[in-house]
Amino acid sequence: MRTTIKKFRQLKGLTQQELADMVRVRRETVVFLEKGTYNPSLQLAHDVSRVLGTRIEELFLFEE
């Protein structure tokens, strides 16, 4: 899984800690989300996409 969270976060001018605070997770969780090592719950994916003003499928890219 690849993610574009970092790109959208930087476009919004947010730090990892700010994004983490907005979606109520730890900064480390944002780090792992950006690396694509952690598969989040649907709720967290929804919260991140809402904060970054984009759709879930634009943030999480699954290669087939």
Of 4 and 31, the one with the shorter C-beta distance to other proteins is 31
**Structure letter (DSSP) for residue 24:** T
* Binding residues vs other proteins (CB under 8 A): 17, 20-21, 24-29, 31-32, 35, 37-41, 43-44
Of 25 and 51, the one with the shorter C-beta distance to other proteins is 25
Q: How far apart are CA 64 and CA 41, in angstroms?
A: 20
Strands 60-61 and 2-3: antiparallel
In the bound complex, what is the minimum distance in angstroms from residue 61's beta carbon to other proteins? 18
Q: How far apart are CA 63 and CA 51, in angstroms?
A: 24
Of 1 and 61, the one with the shorter C-beta distance to other proteins is 1
In the bound complex, what is the minimum distance in angstroms from residue 39's beta carbon to other proteins? 8
30, two tokens: 């944002």
